[in-house]
Structure 1
Amino acid sequence: MGAEAQKEKINNQSKNISMDTSKLSNPTVKAAFEAWQAGDSKLWLSFFTADAQLLDDGHPRNFQNFSTKAIGHERFTSVDIVKDSGRSIFGHFHSDTWGNFKTYFKFHLDANSKIYKLEIGQAEY
């Protein structure tokens, strides 16, 4: 099997990994995370305010663009650390574009449990 065929086999297997979300204690974050993992952009977006902000390694990005282009092509392959009452997730991540790396998603919720800001970036732990 050539390198490209092996890479495709690994990528297809990683898409089928069953994720243990029991560590995710915040119900909104857990539901949003599960929508992300399932590649369901409509459901994912339903957990966010209309003017949700995205910071990628501290730099502002277009949240809507990120949500519609990355979802289905990027996913966690493990949940390693959960902090901030279940609002911050650290784990291994796969991107069809950027490969595999450690990342974090930090969710900020308003009084109505809607996510108004998402911070993402590469993690070191």
Structure 2
Amino acid sequence: MSIFKKILPILLLCSLQACGQIGNHQHKTITQMEYRKISNQKVKDAIEAWQKGKVALWLSFFTADALLLDDGHPRDFNKFSTEAIGHEHFTSVDKVEDNGMSVYGSFHSDTWGDFKTYFKFYLDAAGKFSKLEIGQASY
């Protein structure tokens, strides 16, 4: 048996033990999303529904014919919502603009990976969102 085969199990055990040592390092754990930056209550509630994977609740904030623009390109809002919710989410809210109607943050997609994004909400006269613009952000 080669020396490598003898040492490998010991090295593996040492590396696993090192990760658990107190004071050595810490892993960042996101236990709850920071929503306080979102000043518009309706946007905040919609984002919370998105984050929690509540498709029906998310859709309830929007008109039946809501327009979705993804980096300026029209997409089917309902299809996008039902396919993305549960597989895509904000990992941080970095800034909010337009009286709380535009949310910028770090985002995770099971398909596309991690990137910065924006969600811009538009209200209609009845108080529902009639348009959502999303896309990659650079800030």
* TM > 0.5 fold call: yes
Match of 1:87 in 2: 101
The runs of at least 4 consecutive aligned structure 1 residues that moved more than 4 Å come to 13-16
Match of 1:107 in 2: 121
TM alignment of 1:62-77, pairs within 5 A:
62-77=76-91
Structure 2 residue runs without a partner (length 5+) = 1-14, 16-26
Structure 1 residue runs without a partner (length 5+) = 2-12
Question: Residue 14 of structure 1: CA displacement?
Answer: 9.0
Q: Secondary structure at the match of 1:78?
A: strand
2:74 pairs with 1:24: no
Match of 1:6 in 2: none
% same residue? 66
**Change beyond 3 A, Cα 1:121–1:15:** farther
> What's the TM-score once normalised by structure 1's chain length?
0.86
CA distance in 2, matches of 1:111, 1:84: 17
> What's the TM-score once normalised by structure 2's chain length?
0.78
Match of 2:69 in 1: 55
Match of 1:118 in 2: 132
CA distance in 2, matches of 1:14, 1:69: 28
Q: Secondary structure at the match of 1:119?
A: strand
Equivalenced residues, count: 114
CA distance in 2, matches of 1:14, 1:35: 24
Question: Residue 15 of structure 1: CA displacement?
Answer: 9.4
Highest Rg: 1 or 2?
Answer: 2
CA RMSD of aligned residues (A): 1.8
2:47 pairs with 1:33: yes
Question: Residue 110 of structure 1: CA displacement?
Answer: 1.2
**Change beyond 3 A, Cα 1:109–1:69:** same
CA distance in 2, matches of 1:18, 1:43: 19
Q: Secondary structure at the match of 2:135?
A: strand
**Change beyond 3 A, Cα 1:14–1:46:** farther
CA distance in 2, matches of 1:21, 1:115: 19
